[in-house]
Structure 1
Amino acid sequence: MTQNLDLFPIGNCAASGLVDRAGRLVWACAPRVDGDPMFATLLSDDPTENPDTHGFWSVEVENQASVRQSYLRNTPILSTEITDADGAVVQVLDFCPRYRQFGRIYRPMAFIRMVRPLVGVARVRVRTRPMINWGERPADRTSGSNHIRFVGGATTLRLTTDAAVSHLLAERAFRLEEPFSMFLGPDEGFDADLAATCERMLKETTAYWRHWVRTLSIPLEWQEAVIRSAITLKLCAHEETGAIVAALTTSIPEHAGSGRNWDYRYCWLRDAYYVVQALNRLGAADILENYLGYLRNIVDCAAGGHIQPLYGVGMEPSLTERFAEHLPGYRGMGPVRIGNQAHEHLQHDVYGQIILSTVQAFFDERLLRPASVADFHQLEPVGERAFELHDEPDASLWEFRGRENIHTYSAVMCWAACDRLGNAAERLGLLERAAHWNDRAAKVRAAIEDRAWNAKLGRFAATFGGDELDASLLQLVDVRFVKPDDPRMAATIAAVEKGLRRGSYMLRYAIPDDFGEPKTAFNICTFWLIEAMHLSGRTEEARRLFKEMLERRTAAGLLSEDIAFDGAELWGNYPQTYSLVGLINCATMLSKPWTSVR
């Protein structure tokens, strides 16, 4: 079975994992999303030829004939139904428990697998093979009458079950005459009836997610796609701190043999801004509020100085990049990276994204903790950094490793920082500060309009004084730097589309970088093009391209970071928050209004 990204995420905002089309848990890290992968078959070369390595957790049916998978409606709870050659059917329910208990959210670092006979009697085999130290070796095992302990890594795990433990230890096939459950979590005794407790957890987790979805303000069209994207964006939140990771995986290459293998299990302030922006459009204020707490801590630690483009989910500043030597990589395409060198980069757009993420709190009366005058003054040093750096070189939002320029996108985000601080000051009645920030914004705007506008080509350029094209120029409308009907923007959109579009899909940029020329399209950029089409009056064309992007989703209804130019295969880390943000934003923008059905 050739590896692909047709995977189903499960999680609870603390634990997360990916289940493949065979019903195997092939990716899950402990003790948190950026930890050591206990199940890492996703990053092995060929698990069918050497299934004993790299870690997985499977429930297999002898003489399997077919598999059918789907999420329980409006939840991240996965149902896998496996039918054998005689027609017997087994259901596996996979989920991570999440619900309100004792006045707080119960979300342990735990996975539940409930195995049920639906039709007839099949023979099943359970293989639970967690690894330690990034695939170096299997975890050591000890066992008791109803549990197996996996020892030796950063986290000791305990699998509690009401199946025969000897069957699991020996990986022995047995008749599935009665349902059984497995709870893999902290190394603690399970002092309750396992079957009844897992059933209760299933019921309460289902209710939690369906109630959360009911709070969303979704568009009339493409509801299922928007709901699945919103649930998955929430799974990418590390609720303990408020961080939002860019993806759940590391080192899925951007294209075959590219070496563009990055660890995305960290919180990019830019990506997180786009996530909260998209979820705000759906009315999901809970993730915004939690993320703002994370941001306030980051700003405190910076004390008016440098702010990194990304941090660990626990706000760790140092994410030193290294290789996992024992994992060959997705389809054998290494390297497998741990950490990300981008934490060392200068990326000046982050100052704007901090303020763009925060400014809603000065206006939104729904929030449990509306922003105050003190919060405004805490943000002002961030704005001063933005003003100071708006015309200084950086690595850009695309994180070039080998060159720096004064990037238009970064400068526009610095303008947005000053502009939005002016708006917040007016809201708070701080008229002197409003005048200060409006003056700062005007000066940055003047610099951009003078130095990013290429008069010879009649369009904005990606760098000051340059002629490069960059898909991020499509964002000038979204941040309100220019109006959609501005002829300068129309010329820029036309040039970006002509220069960067490959078939239906968009590149970030077309020039060679540290790893050569890009060979796949970047999904968020295609969604940016769809938005630009709609805003410039090409709505029917935008809807056709949006529907095509929906057809490229996995069976789980999700997208990764990149896609082949012919649309045949997804590449890059998965599920990618950028891509899901684009889906939500375009669906919200393009949908027919609810009034059309009233």
Structure 2
Amino acid sequence: MNEDRGRAAADGTASEGYLPIAEHGLIGDLRTAALVGTDGRINWFCAPRFDSPSIFGALLDARDGGHWHLSPVGDVATRQQYYFPDTNILMTRMLTENGIVEIQDFMPIRAEGDRDHRQRLVRRVVSVRGSARIRTVIAPRMNYGRDPHKVEPQPHGVRFTSEALDISLQASVVLHAEDQDAVGEFDLTEGQSVLFVLESTAPTRAEPSIDLVDAQAAEELFGATVRFWRQWLGQSTYTGRWREMVHRSALTLKLLTHEPTGAIVAAPTLGLPEQVGGERNWDYRYVWIRDAAFSLHALLRLGFTREAQAFISWLTDCLRGARDGDHVPLRVLYSIDGSAELPEQVLDHWEGYRGSAPVRVGNGAADQLQLDIYGELFDAIYLFNKHGDGISHESWMDLCTILDWLLEHWDSPDAGIWETRAGQQRHTYSRVMCWVAVERMIRMARQRGLPGDLGRWMAERDKIYHQIMEQGWSAQDQTFVQRLSGDPEEPPESILDASLLVMPMVKFLSPKDPRFRSTVDAIGASLVTDSLVFRYDPKLSPDGLDGTEGTFSICSFWWVEALARTGQVDAARVALEKMFTYANHLGLYAEQIGMTGEHLGNFPQAFTHLALISAATSLDGFMG
């Protein structure tokens, strides 16, 4: 960041031009996604994949990031957004003094077997009532704003050309080039509409494959997109009390799925801060083994076995790398295509969301050791083996290879589930999930008669269990704690961690166990505020970063489950209903919730939505 922009961030002026994170909706095509603000601006869009460089990046730099503005000229009294029922088609309504304008945003889904499909972002603006003058500004900034481009007029729009990417924009109105942008103004009377279709491709002179400025062609694409989402959602087996929130979370998880590979990304964004003005800004457009495993679990609970099978296929390739001699069987995260090389770099020419620098691309956590991922992964595979098609012989042998490695390394310090950057520690949650990994392998071997050294596996499982109970339990404070003591005779530090709420969920302890009940009480007294749950207290457990963070939404949904499992069903229901009030207007959640209810961190977050599904389905069961 240069000196002038640093001063702007410090005095608050850098917030100009930024919508709150929660004031966005998400659209996508199972390859990438875009964030659309309630003001009609597309502030984030990468193509052709989630982890491609951005085309529109105003979310992270309002001045130089690039955007697509589409809105009535003049004052807008009210702005509202909703999803077309049971779809991921976003409708943005704007009420002016002269009428009502609606913007329909969606990305068509590639039909199975369609080899001619092109990636498109469709925007249709309609005058619902009265009349309106509409202005649009299409201002792409390629490669995170680093690559120059040219603007060339076309018969039905414009083309933006750069070294690495071409963008063809068709429109049913005339657009004019202004510097690097395309601009248009037009009048709409009641019932009239205007179409825009953006296609991104590798550099080519080819014309778009279909003239979508034709109203009938666009309507057919709209209808096909509606049918896709409704047919997909129709597979859900959920019939519980919170259908709307659960199904919106399922639709969001599906949007975060890269269909060609089966990978599930943690979020479609990068750099959104955990504290406005702070440095906790990460790139989440990758596949975290932990997040994806939890997502698989959530989708299986709703009956979406096809997505589970696709992810298992993607995962098989990662497992094969372990069997082929990778120095560590699994990395914490991978790119969509399975690469573990994700070097972290800083986009120092961008100021960050509301001055929250640095803006990081890539993620250094890829090189961390996080032992808990083995438990989450093996638990998901266990469930898939139980409720899905079952795993193959080759996959079982891959798992055995990984388990052999884990049995030699489970007692190592690691970075833990929260990916701290303060050095490795002996995390209790990591030990619990190592226990889960070994225990699930024993279960699968017994259930299917699969080969394995059960005697060794059971001995190591029991060692892990006893270590947790002896070194992860504070007799003085009557709670499990974040880190193990260095010696069985020494009491551990009295640091609470909300990840320990999952102990009964993974069947490590009974929810009726007095040790778990007292841990829930301790977490409730120290880390919970109005159903919102902090991960841990950074003052007691420094994580190597400056600043603070908000409450972590996945922990808040874990809190709901913990209350329900310990018999506090009414309190669990109240906590769940409170959490629903913290969703944005579309039912979406960022990673964290701040002091005044603002959304913080990358958005929307798969971790949060899968935890919502788990909490709601579990609480349904307890309520009968």
Q: What TM-score comes out, normalization by structure 1 length?
A: 0.92
The aligned residue for residue 591 of structure 2 is 561
- Equivalent in the alignment of 2:9: none
Q: State the match for 2:33 in structure 1.
A: 16
- Deviation (angstroms), 1:417: 1.1
1:190 and 2:208 aligned: yes
1:4 to 2:20 alignment: yes
Residue number in structure 1 paired with 2:136? 126
Q: Which residue of 78, 88, 94 corresponds with 1:82?
A: 94
2:345 corresponds to: 322
Indicate the SS of the match to 1:463. Answer: coil
The 10-residue stretch of structure 1 (136-145 or 193-202) with the greater mean CA deviation from structure 2 = 136-145
User: Identity percentage over the alignment?
Assistant: 32
Q: What CA distance in whole angstroms lies between the structure 2 residues aligned with 1:357 and 1:293? A: 13
3-state SS, counterpart of residue 412 of structure 1: helix
Q: Indicate whether 1:579 and 2:608 are aligned.
A: yes
The one of 546, 550, 573 aligned to 1:520: 550
Asked if 2 retains the 8 angstrom alpha-carbon contact of 1:250 and 1:263, the reply is yes
Indicate the residue corresponding to 2:499 in structure 1. 472
Per-residue deviation, 1:155: 2.1
Paired with 1:429 and 1:542, the residues of 2 have a C-alpha distance of: 39
Alignment of 1:341-352 (within 5 A): 341-352=364-375
In the TM superposition, what is the alpha-carbon distance from 1:461 to its structure 2 partner? 2.1
SS for the counterpart of 1:160 is strand
Once the two structures are TM-superposed, the CA of residue 2 in structure 1 deviates from its matched residue by 4.8
1:302 counterpart residue number: 322
Once the two structures are TM-superposed, the CA of residue 137 in structure 1 deviates from its matched residue by: 5.9
CA distance in 2, matches of 1:176, 1:269: 49
Instruction: Give 3-state SS (helix, strand or coil) of 1:42's partner.
Output: coil
Equivalent pair of 2:47/2:200 in contact (CA under 8 Å): no
| 2:80 match | 68
Q: Tell me: CA distance 1:507–1:163, structure 2 relative to 1, closer, same or farther (3 Å).
A: same
SS in 1 for 2:144: coil
Of 364, 374, 392, the residue aligned with 1:372 is 392
Of 161, 165, 176, the residue aligned with 1:155 is 165
| Aligned: 1:531 with 2:561 | yes
Give the gaps of 5 or more residues in structure 1: none
1:95-154 C-alpha deviation (Å, 9 max, x unpaired): 01015343x698753211122232233211221111023123663212221232212153
Kept in 2, the 8 Å contact 1:15–1:108? The answer is no
- Report if aligned partners of 2:278, 2:357 keep a CA contact under 8 Å in 1: no
Equivalent in the alignment of 1:172: 184
Amino acid in the other structure paired with 2:161 = V
Contact 1:219 1:588 in 2 (8 A): no
Q: Verify the 8 A CA contact 1:351 1:385 in the aligned structure 2.
A: no
Distance 1:106 1:578 in 2: 34
Aligned pairs (5 A) from 1:47-126: 47=62, 50=63, 53-65=64-76, 66-87=78-99, 89-102=100-113, 108-126=118-136
The 1:31/1:193 distance shift into structure 2, 3 A limit, reads closer
Describe the superposition over 1:161-190 as per-residue Cα deviations: whole angstroms up to 9, x where unpaired.
332244997623222354232221134423
Query: Cα 1:153–1:585, aligned 2, differ >3 Å: closer, same or farther?
Result: farther
CA gap of 1:132–1:430, structure 2 versus 1, over 3 A, is: closer
Does 2:496 correspond to 1:494? no
For 1:36 and 1:562, the matched residues in 2 are separated by: 25
Secondary structure of the residue that 2:101 maps to in structure 1?
Answer: strand
Closer/same/farther in 2, CA of residues 371 and 101 from structure 1, 3 Å limit = closer
Write the letter of the residue equivalent to 1:92.
Answer: I
Q: 1:193 to 1:137 in 2, by over 3 A?
A: closer
> Secondary structure of the equivalent of 1:423?
helix
> What CA distance in whole angstroms lies between the structure 2 residues aligned with 1:448 and 1:557?
38
Distance 1:176 1:283, change over 3 A: same
- Rounded Cα–Cα distance in structure 2 between residues aligned with 1:432 and 1:144: 65
Q: Secondary structure at the match of 1:291?
A: helix
Instruction: Return 503-512 or 242-251, whichever deviates more.
Output: 503-512
Equivalent residues of 2:504, 2:511 under 8 A apart? yes
1:139–1:151 CA contact under 8 A, matched in 2: yes
User: What is the aligned length?
Assistant: 583
Alignment check: 8 A CA contact 1:62 1:124 kept: yes
Question: Is the 1:241–1:313 contact (alpha carbons within 8 Å) kept by the matching residues of 2?
Answer: yes
* Cα pair distance change 1:576/1:456, threshold 3 Å: same
- The offset of 1:503, in angstroms, is 4.4
- Mark the runs of 5 or more structure 2 residues left unpaired by the alignment: 1-16, 486-491
Q: 2:137 corresponds to which letter in structure 1?
A: R
* Matched residue SS, 1:518: coil
Q: Which amino acid aligns with 1:171?
A: V
> Corresponding residue for 2:382?
359
Q: What is the correspondence of 1:224-239 to structure 2 with a 5 Å cutoff? A: 224-239=244-259
How many Å separate the matches in 2 of 1:141 and 1:130? 10
Give the AA of the match of 1:4. P
Paired with 2:282 and 2:599, the residues of 1 have a C-alpha distance of 16
Cα deviation, residue 362, structure 1: 2.3
Moved more, 198-207 or 64-73: 64-73
| One-letter amino acid matched to 1:524 | I
- The residue that corresponds to 2:46 in the other structure is 29
Match of 2:155 among 145, 153, 166: 145
Paired residues for 1:182-331 under 5 Å: 182-187=196-201, 188-194=206-212, 195=214, 196-303=216-323, 305-306=327-328, 307-331=330-354
> Match of 1:112, SS?
strand
Partner Cα separation in structure 1 for residue 356 and residue 393 of structure 2: 51
Contact 2:268–2:604 (8 Å) recurs in 1: yes
Find the residue that maps to 2:316 and give its secondary structure: helix
Q: How big is the alpha-carbon RMSD for the aligned residues of Structure 1 and Structure 2?
A: 2.2
Q: In the TM superposition, what whole-angstrom CA distance separates every residue of 1:263-294 from its partner, at most 9, and x where no partner exists?
A: 11111101111111112111111221111111
- Give the counterpart letter for 1:536 in structure 2: T
Q: CA deviation at 1:441?
A: 2.2
3-state SS of paired residue (2:276): coil
Mark the CA change 1:415 to 1:105 in structure 2 (over 3 Å): closer, same or farther: farther
For the residues of structure 2 that align with 1:321 and 1:453, how far apart are their CA atoms?
36
2:488 corresponding residue in structure 1: none
CA distance in 1, matches of 2:137, 2:563: 50
Aligned residue type for 2:351: P
State the SS of the aligned residue for 2:127. strand
Task: Check the 8 A contact 1:245/1:313 in 2, yes or no.
Answer: yes
Gap change, CA 1:172 and 1:183, over 3 Å in 2 = closer
Letter in 2 for 1:57: W
Corresponding letter in the other structure for 2:569: T
Q: 207-216 or 177-186: which moved more?
A: 177-186
